[in-house]
Amino acid sequence: MLNLFRIINYRIYQFNFYVASFLMRHRKPILITGAGSIHKLPEVLKKHKIDRVLLVTDKGLSALGLPNPLMEDLSSNNIQYFVYDGVQQDPSVENIEQAKSIYEANNCEGVIAFGGGSPMDCAKAAAARVANPKKSVKKMRGLLKVTNSLPPLFAVPTTAGTGSECTIVAVVKANKSQEKYAVTDFKLCPLYAVLDPELTLGLPKHITAWTGLDALTHAVEAYIGQKNTKESAELGLKAVKLIFESLEKAYQNGEDIYAREQMLLASHYAGLAFTRAYVGYVHAIAHNLGGLYSIPHGLANAVVLPYVLEYYGSSVYRSLAELADFAGLASANQSTEEKAKVFISAVKELLRKFDIPEHFEQIRDEDIPLIVSRALHEANPLYPVPKIMFEDDCTALVKKIKG
C-alpha cells in the first residue's frame, strides 16, 4: 500500500513537470558541422565580439596537442585564450572553481568547452558560477537553480557519447563524499556546438565503445520513458539506428570519418532526446558507480543498461520493439515481446564485441545500501521511468550487476 501511494505521488510529480516543461524556454545550440569545422569557430567568436576566451579541456587532450590547431586559429584572429586543462575524469567543485578563477582573472568574455563530457560539464558549471558568483555549485544542484544567464558558451566534443554539447545538465563530483550530482537548468545549454569528426579520428577503441554506448543509453532511456514528445521520440529512434549502423564501424576502423561523423550526430540527437524526455535508472545507478569507484560513465551505463531493461520487463516491450524495428534488428513475423528481447540481445552482443564486462566485481557489499539510496534519491520522483523501482528491487539489481 505504501509503495502504491509513492507511485501515485511520483507519477503526479512527473505529469506536472511534463506539463510545465512546455512553458519553459527550450533552446538548441547553433550547429557547426563537418570535417574541419573547428576552424570556423574563431569567426563565430569575432561575430559575438569576443576577444578573450577561456578554453576548458583536460591534460590528456593537451598532451596529445588536440586543441593546438584551435589555439593557433584563435591567435591568428587576435583572440586571446586562457587555458584550464585540470579537469579530472568527473569534474569536481575544485575544478569548477579553478576554471572560474582563470576566467575572472583574465577578464574573459566567453568559454570554449573542448573535450568529452567532463570538460564540457566543467565549462558549463564554471560559466554558471561566473554568472552567479553568490551561488555555490552545491546551491545550484538540482533543477532550475541557475539564476542568471551564462556568458557565451561554445562546445566542441571530441568524443561521440555524452551529447553534453546540447544538454542542460552538468554532472559534478563531490570529492569528499564521492557522490555525483547534477546541476540542471536550461541556461546551461551551449550557444554553439561544433561537430567536427576529424577531432574524433583515432580515438582508442575502448573510448569509442564506452562513449558510443553512453549515447545509446541516452537514446534508449529517453525513448522508453513516459514523458516523450513527438520530437524527442523521433530523435531517439534516429540516434539508435545510427548507433547500430555506425558504432561498430568506428570501433573497428578509427579512421572511418563517415562513421565518426554519424556517431557525432547520433550522440547529438540522443542528447537532445534525453534533454526533453529525461533518463532513468541506468543513469541513476551508473552515476553512483562512477562516484564511488571512478568507473567511467559510458562504461558504467553500458554494463547497467541490459540489467535495467530486463528489470522493466513487459512495461518496455512495445517501445523496445519499435526501436528494434526502426534499427532493422527484428523480423516482421516476430511478436512484440520477441522484438523487445531481440533488442536487448543486440545490446548484449555489442557489449561482447567491445569487450565490455558483464559485471562490476569491485562493488563492495557494504556499499550497496549507499548506492541504492543515492540512485533512488536521484531518480525518484523526477525520472519518468516505465516502471518505478524501490529499495528491494534496486538492491537485487545492484547485486546482479556485482555478479
Considering the domain architecture, whether residues 35 and 173 belong to the same structural domain is answered as yes
> How many angstroms separate the CA atoms of 81 and 112, rounded?
9
* pLDDT value, residue 175: 78
| Residue carrying the nine cell digits 514528445 | 229
Domain final residue pick, 200, 221, 241:
200
Residues 57 and 87 in one domain: yes
- In contact, 390 and 359? CB cutoff 8 Å: no
Same domain, 148 and 274: no
Residue 7 lies in a domain: no
What 3-state class would DSSP assign to 54?
strand
Same domain, yes or no: 168 and 314: no
pTM attached to this predicted model? 0.95
Residues 234 and 190 in one domain: no
Q: Are residues 235 and 166 in the same domain?
A: no
The answer to whether residues 192 and 214 belong to one domain is no
Q: How far is 206 from 360, CA to CA, in rounded Å?
A: 16
Tell me, yes or no, whether 24 lies in a domain: no
Total tally of structural domains belonging to the chain: 2
Q: Are residues 242 and 266 in the same domain?
A: yes
Does residue 3 fall inside a structural domain? no
What letter would DSSP give residue 34?
S
- Do 153 and 244 belong to one domain? no
Last residue of a domain, one of 200, 217, 248: 200
Look at residue 107 and tell me if it is in a domain.
Answer: yes
Q: Is 142 helix (H, G, I), strand (E, B) or coil?
A: strand
Q: What is the dihedral of CA 242, 26, 133, 145, to 10 degrees?
A: -100
**Residue 55 shares a structural domain with residue 150:** yes
Could you tell me if residue 223 is inside a domain? yes
Same domain, 227 and 346: yes
Domain at 368, CATH number: 1.20.1090.10
CA of residue 242 relative to chain centroid, distance: 17
Instruction: Tell me what pLDDT residue 17 has.
Output: 86
Q: What is the CATH number of the domain that holds 93?
A: 3.40.50.1970
Q: Decide which of 200, 215, 247 is a domain's last residue.
A: 200
Residue 67, in any domain of the structure: yes
41 lies in a domain? yes
C-alpha distances (whole Å) from 237 to each of 71, 362, 383 are 37, 34, 20
- Using one digit for the tens of pLDDT, what is the confidence trace for 296-346? 999 999 999 999 999 999 999 999 999 999 999 999 999 999 999 999 999
Spans of the chain, pLDDT less than 50: none
Q: Do residue 89 and residue 215 come from a single domain? A: no
Q: Is residue 9 part of a domain?
A: no
Distance CA 184, CA 243 (A): 26
Domain boundaries, position 97: 30-200
Nearest residue to 114 (alpha-carbon basis) of 56, 170, 54:
56
